[in-house]
Amino acid sequence: MAVEEEGLRVFQSVKIKIGEAKNLPTYPGPNKMRDCYCTVNLDQEEVFRTKIVEKSLCPFYGEDFYCEIPRSFRHLSFYIFDRDVFRRDSIIGKVAIQKEDLQKYHNRDTWFQLQHVDADSEVQGKVHLELRLSEVITDTGVVCHKLAARILECQGLPIVNGQCDPYATVTLAGPYRSEAKKTKVKKKTNNPQFDEVFYFEVTRPCSYSRKSHFDFEEEDVDKLEIRVDLWNASNLKFGDEFLGELRIPLKVLRQSSSYEAWYFLQPRDNGSKSLKPGDLGSLRLNVVYTEDHVFSSDYYSPLRDLLLKSADVEPVSASTAHILGEVCREKQEAAIPLVRLFLHYGRVVPFISAIANAEVRRTQDPNTIFRGNSLTSKCIDETMKLAGMHYLHVTLKPTIEEICQSHKPCEIDPVKLKDGENLENNMENLRQYVDRIFNVITKSGVSCPTVMCDIFFSLREAAAKRFQDDLDVRYTAVSSFIFLRFFAPAILSPNLFQLTPHHTDPQTSRTLTLISKTIQTLGSLSKSKSASFKESYMAAFYEFFNEQKYADAVKNFLDLISSSGRRDPKSVEQPILLKEGFMIKRAQGRKRFGMKNFKKRWFRLTNHEFTYQKSKGDQPLYSIPIENILAVEKLEEESFKMKNMFQVIQPERALYIQANNCVEAKAWIDILTKVSQCNQKRLTVYHPSAYLNGHWLCCRASSDTAPGCSPCTGGLPANIQLDIDGDRETERIYSLFNLYMSKLEKMQEACGSRSVYDGPEQEEYLTFVIDDPQETYKTLKQVIARVGALEQEHAQYKRDKFKKTKYGSQEHPIGDKSFQSYIRQQSEVSTHSI
């Protein structure tokens, strides 16, 4: 989901690795240990939670989280909680990284000191305020000054304990006075519309009583300030919760008698900074924040055309896409946007075939084919992740879930056996698990996605042609991907492939490691299987699988997934689980006199139907066939005074659902839209608000069957080749070329050197693969020119935006540090250009 700006779309995403915490404070009880988990928050909104690590002051999490960020934010925060069975979980400490500081820690493992958390520092949101200073003539003809403070609205206030009933206090404060006034409480909204005006006397007439110590007439207006405090009206005995404040000195009215602006709320200083931050321990994180500024498609045509021709360039090493792989620090940096772009335009198979053929020609030993971290390997890995995730889930997930739930002992290392465990029983448990997983894999060939089969066919042909004397190379070329880089890693770390929600416990993790090792060896078809294990106990266990039927099953499976024109007319599409989880739904009114209340339900989406039930594993209470989904759209917050709501529109009614947070809401809307995109009866218009009290809140139409009043959003096509933003991927590739421009120039020098000089090369040139210096130089020249043209467009856009943007606007409130940093950068650029 992009944030629209003038002629530009802005995409934000974040990839986080939560490593471990160290030296947490001891629990004030006899065992001193804690049961801790970590949350990821956009400002105050939780978007992810790790598993709980029990009885540890140095918990290891090892969890990855990725999300598209659908809204603006100020802080990316991480909270360490201690689970409490009887009371609300307590916060131990937090790490809060300001948005403008995220690049400092980009893709680096960093230890952060945990900071103390108190209510006075937990703020988010912004306030729209107008101040007006006017002269008033009294009945006696004396002039005095009055200040009108108008608080119009707030946006994005935090939700505290599931609710937000905000009000504001407005205070005129100075060295000798403090006068406060209060707005009305706005119920159930974190975007309150106040529009209330408060009047304060700034100076008094001379006839005012001098008996008081305060002499307002002589008081310096510059020493006065307006303070606005936001509060959440609480029914709890602890009192109202502080939401944030802002302080504005009245000297802002020197130049003009009126002043109007948006402000970010700020925390108030309560002296907590005196506490030592090191007392709370530390947290290891790796954060990759990406912000893509994407122009309209025509801007990218020159660079995109060069990229899409890559498969046809001879030699392929002189192509634009291959050059990107040469200059990037890591091949995966290049592989991710390249694969997504080529998938979008249906060119991924020809491109991967071309670079795979080139790599096979350079390979001398058939035993090392596709074993390195080359551009080919990374591109095939990325294609399997994108195109094969559903295939992986439908093949492995049921068995992986059973292994996680059953907890059968499977340790076969005699040294690691626990008391009471039997080695023979453990071997039998493990053998049964390996057999089950081996069978579901080798019988899944008909379900393997077509794009993967086409790539495997080209690998098989290239390897067989290059090494004609090795009869097994046609199998090992394919098994090195499907077994070693697809199934085995998914079994080893199921959480990284969304097969489990979190890391598995130590015993299950050990079981999955043993299974993964065995499956990897079975799939490799190596001549001496037992010798491939370093551990003697693994070699002994593998004797169970030394029968010819296992090798035959692997070869039959590899033949099926790498055959041209592979099709099985008897194959019937099985329901594929796409997403599931708890959400809150509003009763649909299917019973004439039923209450339309809100209830928590377990939702489940497959490629056949969308259902909900009371709890996971129960029978469905209601099912919507995919073909009956006419639209999936956001629901305006004002409908039920609830955030993160969306609607699934059916022929008779709409199902209103509230997700847990904005990231979850976006994920559900995207996947529901994607799976129903090809429905013939999809709506073109919808109602953005609910039908309540006999009318639609958005257009006031009284009929519940009235046509919608707003156009439906575009959504996402169901076809994976189209379920990618080609312009965004081209922008990512442009950014990489721009980042590594110095390497592009070095590669140009290397081409020139090879064209005119045949002797030993400079060491820095040896890292580049250059088969044809002249063709490569020609491509490099075109790439540098087109990247330069895009860079000029970005620079011009920034200059134009800088001229138009007003500090204190709704988009850039006062206190926006990222915008202040941006202003400094633009000022430096302007000075330099002058």
Write down the pLDDT at residue 216: 41
Provide CATH 2.30.29.30 ranges for the chain.
577-606+608-711
Q: Is 113 helix (H, G, I), strand (E, B) or coil?
A: strand
Amino acid at 151: I
The answer to whether residue 573 scores a pLDDT higher than 80 is: no
d(CA 34, CA 196): 48
Residue 606's contacts (CB-CB under 8 Å, 6 or more residues apart) are 575, 576, 577, 578
The answer to whether residue 74 scores a pLDDT higher than 60 is: yes
The answer to whether residue 622 scores a pLDDT higher than 80 is: yes
The answer to whether residue 732 scores a pLDDT higher than 80 is: yes
Tell me the C-alpha to C-alpha distance, in Å, between residue 476 and each of 42, 350, 490, 537.
Answer: 46, 21, 19, 25
Provide CATH 1.10.506.10 ranges for the chain.
377-562
Mean pLDDT of 408-419: 88
Give, as one character, the DSSP assignment of residue 160: B
Instruction: Look at 769 and 490; give whichever has higher pLDDT.
Output: 490
Neighbour-count burial of 94, counting CB atoms closer than 10 A to its CB (0-12 exposed, 13-18 middle, 19+ buried)? buried
Provide CATH 2.60.40.150 ranges for the chain.
3-117+282-290, 126-205+220-264
pLDDT tens across 163-198, in order? Answer: 788 999 999 988 878 889 999 999 888 889 999 999
In the numeric block, the tokens 């912000």 are attached to 291
**Which helix or strand (DSSP H or E) is residue 540 part of?**
helix 536-542
d(CA 740, CA 120): 44
C-alpha R_g of the chain: 32
Q: Bridge partners of 228? A: 170, 246
Our measurement of the distance from residue 472's CA atom to the centroid of its chain's CA atoms, rounded to an integer in Å, reads 42
Tell me whether the omega of the peptide bond preceding residue 773 falls within 30 degrees of 0, making it cis.
Answer: no
Write down the pLDDT at residue 770: 86
What ranges make up the beta strands (E) of 7-109?
8-22, 36-42, 45-49, 60-68, 75-82, 90-98
Residue-level length of the chain: 834
Instruction: Look at 484 and 86; give whichever has higher pLDDT.
Output: 484
CB of 562 within 8 A of CB of 459?
yes
Instruction: Using the Cα atoms of residue 370, residue 375, residue 380 and residue 381 in order, give the sign of their dihedral.
Output: positive
Residue 67's contacts (CB-CB under 8 Å, 6 or more residues apart) are 13, 14, 47, 48, 663, 667
Tell me the C-alpha to C-alpha distance, in Å, between residue 40 and each of 64, 95, 461.
Answer: 11, 10, 47
Q: Is 342 helix (H, G, I), strand (E, B) or coil?
A: helix
**Which helix or strand (DSSP H or E) is residue 438 part of?**
helix 423-442
d(CA 659, CA 666): 9
Q: Considering only CA atoms, which of 81, 102, 110 is closest in space to residue 17?
A: 110
Residue 669's contacts (CB-CB under 8 Å, 6 or more residues apart) are 632, 633, 634, 646
Mean pLDDT of 703-707: 87
d(CA 357, CA 601): 51
Give, as one character, the DSSP assignment of residue 53: B
Q: Considering only CA atoms, which of 643, 431, 637, 666 is closest in space to residue 550?
A: 431
Q: Bridge partners of 632? A: 648
The answer to whether residue 832 scores a pLDDT higher than 70 is: no
Neighbour-count burial of 433, counting CB atoms closer than 10 A to its CB (0-12 exposed, 13-18 middle, 19+ buried)? buried
* φ, ψ for residue 518, nearest 5 deg: -70, -45
The CATH H-level superfamily of 377-562 is GTPase Activation - p120gap; domain 1 (1.10.506.10)
d(CA 215, CA 211): 9
Tell me the C-alpha to C-alpha distance, in Å, between residue 217 and each of 200, 206, 550.
Answer: 14, 7, 97
Write down the pLDDT at residue 780: 94
State the CATH class of domain 577-606+608-711.
mainly beta
Write down the pLDDT at residue 720: 42
Confidence class of residue 402 from pLDDT cuts 50, 70 and 90?
Answer: very high
Mean pLDDT of 291-318: 93
Q: Considering only CA atoms, which of 649, 487, 493, 489 is closest in space to residue 558?
A: 487
The correct CATH number of 126-205+220-264 out of 2.60.40.150, 3.50.50.60, 3.90.1150.10, 1.10.3720.10 is 2.60.40.150
Write down the pLDDT at residue 137: 76
d(CA 408, CA 403): 8
The answer to whether residue 827 scores a pLDDT higher than 80 is: no
Fold of 3-117+282-290: Immunoglobulin-like (2.60.40)
Report strand pairing: 110-113 vs 282-294.
antiparallel
